[in-house]
Amino acid sequence: MNKNKFVNRTWATIIFCLMFIFSLLSCETVQPIADVATQVGVASGKIGAEDAEKIRSTISTLSYTFEDFTPEQEYYLGRAVGANILAKYKPLMDQRLTDYVNLIGAACSVASLRPETFGGYHFLVLDSEEINAFAAPGGLIFLTRGLLKCCRTEDELAAVIAHEIAHVQYKHGLQAIRQDRITKAIGSIAQEALQNQETVTPEIKELFDGSIRDITFTLITNGYSQQFEFQADQGALVILGKTGYHPGALIKMLQTMKQRLKPGATDFFKTHPSPDSRIAEIGKTFFGTAQYPADPLRQKRFQVHTVNLN
């Protein structure tokens, strides 16, 4: 082997080996190494005020999504939304019905994609003739007396409940928060932590207030997008099917609701797509019928527990 050939082959081997190493150490491996190196510096106090400021500005310019809220933060948002709903609607004082609704809710939540939330699922019936329901982030779910009256069987009541659970599993409530507010909120929380502040800053306070306003406005006044409502119906069909309730009960309930909704009302008539459009959308994936045999035992307990509704 002449000298030139030897040198070339040696270099080729070295380059090949380097490429081999880097191909194994892909971005997924290299990036965390770099991150940890930077973060160790911050945590150990070796990075000065100027660098810390740079990090803070980086945090504030990152784009966060609703998925970046922790389950605990979602829980506190949900509680505040619940308190707002309960400032507008009074609970129905019917313990037997409340317990029954919570049993159906517990059965349906196990079948959801998200059986466990930070504070769990809890259901309350509101003393209102409106046809309405609200799913606060984290699993506080409210159903009006008027909506329950659209249900003729336990399966139909389960359909209503499963639809609301699906809103929680897809985190539709958190998605009602304005995107710029989410970015600011998560960024500010990160900054607050970095500065190790113990007190609530006015900025975080305002962002919390604003987030609650966004969610309650969507739930009570504006309604979710048609896409979210259709998605919640699809989620409900799966939950019903997995639990053993008849998915066709959702269609039957919507047919009853169609007859009961009053044009111009500020309830589901305003905040939800029409029952007809929901039924049409359900028909794209569910090929069964709205007619189903009511289970005698379920029907008996449904009648016992809903006796005071009318």
Partner 1 sequence: MIYRKIIMPVCISISFFIAACFITPSVMAERIMAVQVKQSQIRATPSYLGKILARMSYGEKVSIISERAGWYKVKKMTVPAVVGWMNASSLANPRVVLKAGDKTVQGKTTTEEVALAGKGFNASIEKDYEKSNSNLDYTWVEKMEKISPTPEEVTAFLVEGNLSLGEGEYHE
Q: Give the footprint of partner 1 on residues 38-57 (CB under 8 A).
A: 39-40, 42-43, 55
Min dist. Cβ of residue 131 to partner 1 (A): 21
Interface of this chain with partner 1, residues 123 to 182, rule: CB under 8 A = 123-124, 140, 154
Min dist. Cβ of residue 290 to partner 1 (A): 16
Contacting range for partner 1; rule: CB under 8 A; set: 76-84, 219-227, 254-262, 272-280: 76-84
Min dist. Cβ of residue 152 to partner 1 (A): 16
Min dist. Cβ of residue 269 to partner 1 (A): 26
Min dist. Cβ of residue 264 to partner 1 (A): 27
Does 59 help bind partner 1 (rule: CB under 8 A)? yes
3-state secondary structure of 144: strand
Contacting range for partner 1; rule: CB under 8 A; set: 2-10, 175-183, 251-259, 276-284: 2-10
Does 10 help bind partner 1 (rule: CB under 8 A)? yes
Interface of this chain with partner 1, residues 108 to 127, rule: CB under 8 A = 108, 110-111, 113-120, 122-124
The answer to whether 100 and 141 have CB atoms below 8 angstroms apart is no
The answer to whether 309 and 145 have CB atoms below 8 angstroms apart is yes
Does 251 help bind partner 1 (rule: CB under 8 A)? no
Contacting range for partner 1; rule: CB under 8 A; set: 63-71, 145-153, 220-228, 249-257: 63-71
Q: Which of 17, 34, 280, 307 forms a contact with partner 1 (CB under 8 A)?
A: 17
Q: Which of 60, 66, 86, 294 forms a contact with partner 1 (CB under 8 A)?
A: 86
d(CA 164, CA 143): 9
Strands (E), the chain: 122-126, 133-136, 140-144
Interface of this chain with partner 1, residues 185 to 244, rule: CB under 8 A = 185-186, 188-190, 192-194, 199-200, 204-205, 208-209, 211-212, 238-239, 241-244
Q: Applying CB under 8 A, what is the total number of residues that bind partner 1?
A: 88
Contacting range for partner 1; rule: CB under 8 A; set: 17-25, 143-151, 217-225, 266-274: 17-25
The DSSP-derived string for the chain is --HHHHHHHHHHHHHHHHHHHHHHS-HHHHHHHHHHHHHHHHHTT-S-HHHHHHHHHHHHHSPP-GGGS-HHHHHHHHHHHHHHHHHHSPBP--HHHHHHHHHHHHHHHHTSS----SS--EEEEE--SS--EEEETTTEEEEEHHHHTT--SHHHHHHHHHHHHHHHHTTTTGGGS-HHHHHHHHHHHHHHHHTT--SPPHHHHHHHHHHHHHHHIIIIII---HHHHHHHHHHHHHHHHHHT--THHHHHHHHHHHHHPPTT-SSHHHHS--HHHHHHHHTTT--S-S--PPPHHHHHHHHHHTTT--
Q: Rank residues 257 and 290 by Cβ distance to partner 1 and give the closer one.
A: 290
Interface of this chain with partner 1, residues 253 to 272, rule: CB under 8 A = none
Q: Rank residues 150 and 158 by Cβ distance to partner 1 and give the closer one.
A: 158
